Structure 1
């Protein structure tokens, strides 16, 4: 039996099949393109990019090579794509913070998220998780239990997150203020050392991209709560922060693909058609499920509007929670 998503996936691929022999394949570049990603390898975003590019190459005759450029907290990757020729050969994968948090974090940002790029597609929404490592006893099974345990074991009051000024940073601050507990947010440069410290017990808890628990957790990490207004399909027993009595946690991240600004209309349409066809495959649906991502269908104007709204919302939160700007 096919569910609705499976039916729509197959319908989209059949429709695209009628087009591929002509216009789409005619515009496929002879040399592989580049997809730049500005966060370290090994975590959810890296696996998403690799999996999506593999589907594009094998099923849609469109080849891009992934390049990891994590310099300067993903800013260098964004600047590189901003300055690339608008010919569809150079694309950018972002985790949403670089588009909606960075404008509020850096006093001088060398790219404009709204005007320097052409949105192509969002590849999935994701919540953030309050993630515990083995340092926390297995008997701690709710957020209240965890906070009580921290109060009794203040040496474990550090709560890790990846990158200063990120959405995960905000989650840790909202939790600490809402529950009036002296949690001490600790920034990490990358998610792998953070997860390593969770595994070894050096760190008791962290705010992580939910999918990183599946990618890097090795079964030793557990989630007590997730951000957003609904539970994750893949974690039906894990409550939201709102269900645990924490307000202000409608903090959802996303991954997106962008091209340089002024991309010709025909090339932009060609790329979007291919990406949408890739997203319609059963393989991509499986990849999203594996990485705990929710499908997002938004047109370019809607992506820009979402970014504009999130920049404003997070700007207010940065001020409210006292995250200092980086000069």
Structure 2
């Protein structure tokens, strides 16, 4: 290796190995910061926040705590950001749906996603799966075969973690492409739906891939397709919807981190710089992988662009389906 390139590489490696306090010398260390989630302790959103808080303590701030502001499907936490200081002491972590889909299904929201929040970084991304259980014949191994079976047997029910969720809409769009109206049954979370499916009371479930992983080994649950643009790393043997000839069926979800509107570029960049190594740490990468999530960071501009694209994409989809929170 030429000496110049070697020194450049060695310098980059040395910078990556610097203690957190040195990494954030670009701004004063905060006494305390909080990561806010709209979901209860023990869930996926809370788990990600707690892992991030652990990694950011001592560098970004002397103390980083997690605050659970639950209620209204994540809306309470987002609304709360409007009254908090935009000084870096409060960072919201929320799924995309609350920002990209809720504006299209609720007539009134207590926040404006594109105006009331300042993007900082993506936290993780994940795909969805469409799975079937013992109520569906073992000979059904693809989505087209499932749609043909559902139509011929008039067994058209499928479950999802919630009405108005991405898995709900995936099931509706799937039925439309197959020329059949699948009947949606909303549950309070994916696991209750999966338990009914593996118990034979429900034919199929649409939900996050990570929720299916613990149930695959027994053979009572099998994923027919995944929703990503490419095959999912956690179930690489399962083809995507698009691979099976279903058009415009590439959907992923992400968790993003935001500050209140008005946060300065310096404050945002400092938080983004703290999150980047935290999200690349083996503790978080491996911990999220166990839940079917891929840890990922981004620049604030990249997150802003992704939110805008998802917000604009879901508007026409929701309108075509005709679903509202009041329906």
Query: Does TM, scored on the shorter chain, surpass 0.5?
Result: yes
Q: Which residue of 2 aligns with 1:254?
A: 254
Structure 2 stretches of 5 or more lacking a match?
1-9
Q: Which residue of 2 aligns with 1:229?
A: 229
Q: Which residue of 1 aligns with 2:179?
A: 180
Change in CA separation of 1:13 and 1:269 when aligned onto 2, cut-off 3 Å:
farther
Change in CA separation of 1:218 and 1:87 when aligned onto 2, cut-off 3 Å:
farther
* Structure 2 CA distance for aligned equivalents of residues 127 and 215 of structure 1: 16
1:123 aligns with 2:126: no
1:244 aligns with 2:244: yes
Structure 1 stretches of 5 or more lacking a match?
1-9
Q: Which residue of 1 aligns with 2:3?
A: none
Q: Which residue of 1 aligns with 2:30?
A: 29
C-alpha RMSD over aligned residues = 2.9
TM-score, structure 1 normalization: 0.84
Query: Tell me, what secondary structure is at the counterpart of 2:244?
Result: coil
Query: Tell me, what secondary structure is at the counterpart of 2:73?
Result: coil
Contact 1:42 1:192 in 2 (8 A): no
- If asked which structure has higher relative contact order (CA below 8 Å, sep 6+), I would say 1
* Structure 1 CA distance for aligned equivalents of residues 215 and 62 of structure 2: 29
* Structure 1 CA distance for aligned equivalents of residues 13 and 84 of structure 2: 31
Measured after TM superposition, the shift of residue 215 of structure 1 is: 6.1
Give per-residue Cα distances to partners, 1:188-244, cap 9 Å, x unaligned. 233343334334333221111112223677855331101122101221110000111
Measured after TM superposition, the shift of residue 271 of structure 1 is: 1.2
Change in CA separation of 1:21 and 1:124 when aligned onto 2, cut-off 3 Å:
closer
Query: Tell me, what secondary structure is at the counterpart of 2:277?
Result: helix
TM-score, structure 2 normalization: 0.84
Matches within 5 A, 1:186-197: 186-197=185-196
Measured after TM superposition, the shift of residue 316 of structure 1 is: 0.7
Matches within 5 A, 1:1-327: 14-18=14-18, 20-22=20-22, 24=24, 27-31=28-32, 33-40=33-40, 42-57=42-57, 63-154=63-154, 156-214=155-213, 220-324=220-324, 326=326
Query: Tell me, what secondary structure is at the counterpart of 1:304?
Result: helix
Bigger-Rg structure (1/2)? 2
Measured after TM superposition, the shift of residue 180 of structure 1 is: 1.0
* Structure 1 CA distance for aligned equivalents of residues 175 and 11 of structure 2: 47
Measured after TM superposition, the shift of residue 61 of structure 1 is: 6.6
